[in-house]
Structure formats: structure tokens, C-alpha cells
Structure 1
Amino acid sequence: MTEVVLQIVRGDEASGQTIERYNVPFKGGMSLLDAVFWVREHEDQSLSVRYSCRSANACKECMAITDGKPGYLCSIRAMKNTEYLIEPMKARKWIKDLVTELD
């Protein structure tokens, strides 16, 4: 099976950070946000991520650090048989998992 592997920072200020690994089936054209949604739907419903796709004037809430570079999870295309490290933004107050305070 062709997969995308996500290593996602989990936790919060009180409990600290851990990194959880998820194997996600690859689908052509999927974004990393699509892969995170797959994890929430099939592996762990407690995974927290901020997004507002398809909401008027509320786009670009899914910012995270992927492999050391900041970007929007919805605009980063997943590549088959590739592993990604996804972390919350470091310059913002960390709330839980990939969720940080908005500016």
C-alpha cells in the first residue's frame, strides 16, 4: 500500500510534547491537511488541528511547521511514500496538538 507517514506533535503545555506516528493511505492530490483529517476520522478523533476551509474570510488557520518550515497544511501536497514531521507554530502560544492561538 502506498502511504504517507505523519509524525505529529501531540500534547499541551500541562502534559508536554510527544510525537505520534500515523500511516495514512495516499490518495493523489491530497494535502497534508487531508492526511490529518484521515487520522482524525480513522485513527484518533482527539487529534486537534485548527482549520476553517470553505469559510468566508477565515482561511489559512491551518498553519503549522512541516519538516522545519512554516506553511499551510491545506496547501502542502502530500507525496506518496514520504514521511513528514508536523509541529505547531513555535511563535504562537501552544494550546493543544497542532492548535495555537491566532494573532
Structure 2
Amino acid sequence: MKATLSIQRGALGATPHQDTFDIPFEHGQSILDGLRAIRRSMDPSLAFRFSCINANACKECMMLIDGKVDYACTVRLKEGMTTLAPLPKKALIRDLVTEIAPPDERLMLRS
């Protein structure tokens, strides 16, 4: 059995593109489990955020999953195709990573 993740990739100012990954599927896995498997075994450059696993406490793994805003750590992986995209109406950093910190809490990088 396999699951397929179609992931919107790109960076701010670049034209986004879709990358598709086939991964082994086991019942009970989360979307976050699938993303971590892709980064570990197939594409270490894939960017996404997470801080906890299956706790729904940090809210860092929020993204569009099949067109709905949800947490990658709580949505279950399924057989077949799942489409992932960054949060809408948030500044894109890269791939599935968007700016989520309030402006007054952001670190300012100095050159």
C-alpha cells in the first residue's frame, strides 16, 4: 500500500511548483509522519515546520491539506493522493513554511 503526497514547493518571489512523492502507507500514520519520511529518505531539502508530534499543542505544522487548513500532526495519511500547500494569506518563507509569528515577536536578522 502507498500514499502519494503532492506538495506545493517554492520560495517567496519564485513560481511555485508541485512535487509528488510516493511513500509506504500504514494505517494510523499522520501527514507529518509522511513529510518526515520524505525529508529523511527522499528529499532533505523539503521545508515544513513542526515542534511536537500528535499533540496538537504547538500549532506549527498547520498547512492546507486537500484545500482545508489543518494540522499535519493530526490528519491521518490515506491511500491515494493528498495535496499539501502552505497556509493562505501568510507570507511564504519556503515550501510549506509560512510566517506565523506575530510581527512584534519576529526575530530581526541584521546584515
Q: With structure 2 as the length reference, what TM-score do the two structures score?
A: 0.84
How many Å apart are 1:36 and its aligned residue? 0.5
Q: Percent identity?
A: 37
Equivalence for 1:99: 97
How many Å apart are 1:6 and its aligned residue? 0.3
SS of the residue aligned with 1:92? coil
- Divergent runs of 4+, >3 A: none
Q: Distance in 1 between matches of 2:63 and 2:19?
A: 16
SS of the residue aligned with 1:22? strand
Q: Distance in 1 between matches of 2:43 and 2:15?
A: 18
Equivalence for 1:19: 18
Q: Distance in 2 between matches of 1:89 and 1:20?
A: 17
In structure 1, give the amino acid aligned to 2:81: E
- After superposition, residues 44-83 of structure 1 pair within 5 angstroms as 44-53=43-52, 59-80=58-79, 82-83=80-81
SS of the residue aligned with 1:91? coil
| Count of residue pairs the alignment pairs up | 99
- After superposition, residues 81-92 of structure 1 pair within 5 angstroms as 82-92=80-90
In structure 1, give the amino acid aligned to 2:72: L
In terms of fraction of residues, the more strand-rich structure is 1
Q: Is 1:30 the equivalent of 2:39?
A: no
In structure 2, give the amino acid aligned to 1:62: C
- CA distances 1:27-47 after superposition (whole Å, capped 9, x unpaired): 221000100001001110000
How many Å apart are 1:15 and its aligned residue? 2.4
Aligned-residue RMSD, C-alpha: 1.5
How many Å apart are 1:102 and its aligned residue? 1.0
Unaligned runs of 5+ in 2: 102-111
